Structure 1
């Protein structure tokens, strides 16, 4: 049966821990300079992007090359899933030529439909609902910096968007202590919240909702933020700036966190809005370590999904 990477909720804690171990091993191996293993020799990855990207595109392309494979990029004008062709027909074409697909799109239902009709692995490169590759790589960064995931106190300050939704899943699976701090009316997806609160009761995780950033940051080991206005919501920018004006990670908020707290941002950042230059460029920021780890984490995902022979 073909495995996909559509949502962190599709994976067990044991599976994610194994993938994190492999990501750390791949990072330390430095294959481009050491000649390393090439487990995806001859494999082809399709990158279907209906949304633009810097980190997702570059890290998947570089990752495939480092693992011995190759990739082909199709942008929004070339894809148009469900417009020029049905999603099912696109899947049935691509599976004849490729060994895996990364889809970056708007509606989460599209990536689910593509996977349903595809005999090759499909990876969710981002949807409006979830961003599993980002949070998986963030788990790698926290593990490196804190030495553990269980019980780590993370305060997410900002919009209850796709990143927040995937954090609910990642934190509940890995047994973390997550405070999700958003303005009223900008909370996470209600269904995901309910499901992950149920999971947290079994995993030992703690999930709390908060509307006061100062309270959320108190004693946090990780402060995390994202843009106030995500792609596709630009028309709401003025209203969102007003709603989020007190939800900025700045020096005053950082001082409420643990003394050795780290600051994370999934990027791109709107400096001066959700985070100040002082904090983003400061000694407690791991933002660019976090960006680097997209490469290593996604290589582990690619290897896991694509290293088996077709049809196995």
Structure 2
């Protein structure tokens, strides 16, 4: 039986396979990937235990476009809601699905538990700590816009959340790339991700740094932010909005980066992490970035499942 491929973390991908997914996503985005349906006959399950617009739609539409059949599960549709273990759920689903795309409410270990079987690929559609498919869509967007990822300089402003963690791991793989993280004190990218990125950066010649201010901004090609508060989450400090206020991406910040485009993983809260003038302005490619989630999702699905054994997971 062919070994299953899982995408739980960016660190699961060797450099050449990360580049293949990004390049393939760009080919889908350009319309040059061909009209084959490499997932014909496959069954893909999409489990959303948290709200999702872009990621759920991207993988659902992507699976259908690649020829797969689709089963969608909401947060209370599986017996997980009544206490069945993740391991048992994964064992059962692996006899019926070729791929499980899962957005979880817990840590990465929950997804590793789904992947503790040998018949079904598992894709992390966002966990509490990392959002790897977002980073792949971001790199696809950068490749489409600039024609390269190597040497691209990115300024990330705002909370060091799961999107920032994945971007840190991914961009550090590219020679000459720079990622300047400017995050509020106490809300930065976790040190373990910075340490992992430092290993990659030493190998590739990339640069990753984190500071907790927005002064002395370097020259960059991309300014990137995400919303400050995920729906249903809370911050540990009651006056967190005061701490975050200097990190808003507004016209003044963009003027300090005159050659930069603007990216946002969406959804956006205009007037909080970004002003309407920036998000809806001429330098914003946020909605093209959102569309690239669909193109990138097709590349991820193809990478995971196109080489599956004939007859599907259950045979």
**Shorter-chain TM-score range:** over 0.9
Residue by residue, what CA displacement relative to the aligned partner does 1:72-130 show, whole Å, maximum 9, x if unpaired?
11111123648521111101110111110001012221011111235211000000100
Question: Which structure exhibits the higher relative contact order, with contacts defined as CA atoms closer than 8 Å and separated by 6 or more residues?
Answer: 2
3-state SS of paired residue (1:119)? coil
Contact 2:179/2:209 (<8 A) preserved:
yes
Contact 2:222/2:263 (<8 A) preserved:
yes
Residue by residue, what CA displacement relative to the aligned partner does 1:26-47 show, whole Å, maximum 9, x if unpaired?
233388xx9x211111211111
CA distance in 2, matches of 1:302, 1:268: 23
Residue by residue, what CA displacement relative to the aligned partner does 1:128-168 show, whole Å, maximum 9, x if unpaired?
10000001010011111112111211010000110111111
Cα distance 1:30–1:152, how it changes in 2: closer, same or farther (>3 A)? closer
Contact 1:91/1:118 (<8 A) preserved:
no
Cα distance 1:72–1:238, how it changes in 2: closer, same or farther (>3 A)? farther
CA distance in 1, matches of 2:232, 2:194: 23
Name the structure 2 match of 1:19.
21
3-state SS of paired residue (1:178)? strand
CA distance in 1, matches of 2:252, 2:118: 49
CA distance in 2, matches of 1:195, 1:22: 25
Name the structure 2 match of 1:275.
274
CA distance in 2, matches of 1:21, 1:143: 8
The aligned length equals 307
Cα distance 1:5–1:223, how it changes in 2: closer, same or farther (>3 A)? same
Residue by residue, what CA displacement relative to the aligned partner does 1:180-238 show, whole Å, maximum 9, x if unpaired?
1111111111211112112211110101111222434x311100001111244236595
Name the structure 1 match of 2:72.
73
Contact 2:221/2:260 (<8 A) preserved:
yes
Q: List aligned pairs for 1:215-294, cutoff 5 A.
A: 215-216=216-217, 218-234=218-234, 239-257=239-257, 259-294=258-293
Alpha-carbon distance, 1:253 to partner = 0.2
Q: List aligned pairs for 1:184-195, cutoff 5 A.
A: 184-195=185-196
Name the structure 1 match of 2:211.
210
Structure 1 residues not aligned, in runs of 5+: none
- TM-score normalised by L of structure 1: 0.93
1:4 to 3, 6, 13: 6
Name the structure 1 match of 2:308.
309
Q: List aligned pairs for 1:119-138, cutoff 5 A.
A: 119-138=119-138
- TM-score normalised by L of structure 2: 0.92
Name the structure 1 match of 2:184.
183
Higher share in helix: 1
Cα distance 1:234–1:130, how it changes in 2: closer, same or farther (>3 A)? same
User: Does residue 1:200 correspond to 2:196, yes or no?
Assistant: no
Which has the higher mean CA deviation after the structures are superposed, 70-79 or 54-63? 70-79
Contact 1:226/1:269 (<8 A) preserved:
yes
Cα distance 1:80–1:205, how it changes in 2: closer, same or farther (>3 A)? farther
Cα distance 1:179–1:274, how it changes in 2: closer, same or farther (>3 A)? same
Structure 2 residues not aligned, in runs of 5+: none
Contact 1:3/1:305 (<8 A) preserved:
yes
Question: Moved runs in structure 1, 4+ residues, more than 6 A?
Answer: none
Name the structure 2 match of 1:165.
165
Contact 1:48/1:79 (<8 A) preserved:
no
Contact 1:225/1:249 (<8 A) preserved:
yes
3-state SS of paired residue (1:215)? coil
